[in-house]
Amino acid sequence: MTVFVLAAVMLAYALGSGTGLFIMARGQSRQWEHDAGLYAQVASTALRGIYTFVSVHIDRDGRVSWIEAGRPVGDDQSTIATGFMPADVLALASAQTGQDVWLVTADEAGRLTSLSDSQGQGSGLRVTFPDSDDQTPGHLFTGWVTVGSATHFAGFMPILSGDGRLRGGLVASVGSADALLAARNQALRTLALLMMVTLAASALVAAVALRRAFRPIPALTGTLTALADNDTDVRIPYQERTDELGQLAVAIETLRCAVVERGLLRRIGEHAAVMEHRAHHDSLTGLPNRAHFTTLLDAALERMAAGTAACTLMLLDLDRFKEVNDTLGHAAGDAVLVEVGRRIAPLLSPDDVLARLGGDEFALLQRVGGANALQRAQGLAQAIVAAMARPFAYGGTPVSIGVSIGISGVPDDGAERSVLLRRADLALYVAKNEGRGRYALYRPGMTMRAGSDGTAVGSAGGGT
């Protein structure tokens, strides 16, 4: 009978230990993937902190999927413009991850070659993805990456041009293949050896050792299952024991600490994504702010220069908005500003961008093309004027405002940001001067003159 009980206990313990090994191996692989994605996010944040001409694309989970750059990153021109060598930027990311980071560039055929690593070395190394059929990933990739003759488990953050062509990317290593696999194999061998020793000891001490060893197994298996379900508050029992089960409990506690650390890193990544959004959007309306709109406008002008798109710039200024603040208070003014954004949003095409520049000033970038570009711009402006003419409501009180719009177009009215903004501003002053609640297109000959009360007003001159 003792033999059969011992055999059953040994089988149950073997199954429990096997479950622990499987969960540990699976959790370690997921940890590599998570760390690779997080390190790539950290590297992209360091890159964007230095190279302000780049922008990012966020996926549905709030992670950066790829970086968009209108010009090469890490070349001599960007070094002169920022004052930072590529190695300096990579060192910032490496200091946070504790691992190597490479900046790579792509040739015309999409082949990737390293420019520099975080130590200012490692240039000219061929970069490939041995386990992937796609050697030119267009979005965030995590997996095995070969840099030169060494293979790493890493995250690859691609850098694309405005037209989607691969310019290069960032390779953020979690560790070399030799080191990672050696550590995992060592952990598996340690746990396997622990299991064998425990089984041998159980067989020698027979029923007494069997009874003592049997009770902790369900509890430890339960903690492993809880950890697999991300329950990191579970208490790991039997750590005070000096036998093999105590060592197993300590190993499970080590695993629990690793899971807690992984959750902390995930929260840090989520917080970084939130801060990134706040830095580029207006806190009241949720619309892009002035800095983000400037970046989007510059990108549109670069695409226009490449012959891929044209656009229309509109500057919007609310009429009689000061009266709302003076009579109903700033809370009412804030509610009106939020509603302005909500009313305009359904009128826009998917590629159009509405931003709040500050106060009651808004800007709109309309991407247009073809022979009817002017008609489309006028149609959108007229629709916005009509939408703003409808009374707003605050606390049951009707609020009447309006909007004046100045319009300049690319490339007809200029191809530089400062010129387009100045001419759209001139057209806006003309719309204000002609009675408000209307739009005006920029025409050659428009000027700014002083009104009777000393304020600046627009004059259409001979162009309208």
Active site residues: 360
Please write down the HEC assignment for all residues of the chain: CHHHHHHHHHHHHHHHHHHHHHHHHHHHHHHHHHHHHHHHHHHHHHHHHHCCCEEEEECCCCCEEEEEECCCCCCHHHHHHHCCCHHHHHHHHHHHHCCCEEEEEECCCCCEEEEEECCCCCCCCEEECCCCCCCCCCCCEEEEEEECCEEEEEEEEEEECCCCCEEEEEEEEEEEHHHHHHHHHHHHHHHHHHHHHHHHHHHHHHHHHHHHHHCHHHHHHHHHHHHHCCCCCCCCCCCCCCCHHHHHHHHHHHHHHHHHHHHHHHHHHHHHHHHHHHHHECCCCCCECHHHHHHHHHHHHHHHHCCCCEEEEEEEEEECHHHHHHHHCHHHHHHHHHHHHHHHHHHCCCCCEEEEEECCEEEEEEEECCCCHHHHHHHHHHHHHHHHHCCEEECCEEECCEEEEEEEEECCCCCCHHHHHHHHHHHHHHHHHCCCCCEEECCCCCEEEECCCCCEEEECCCCC
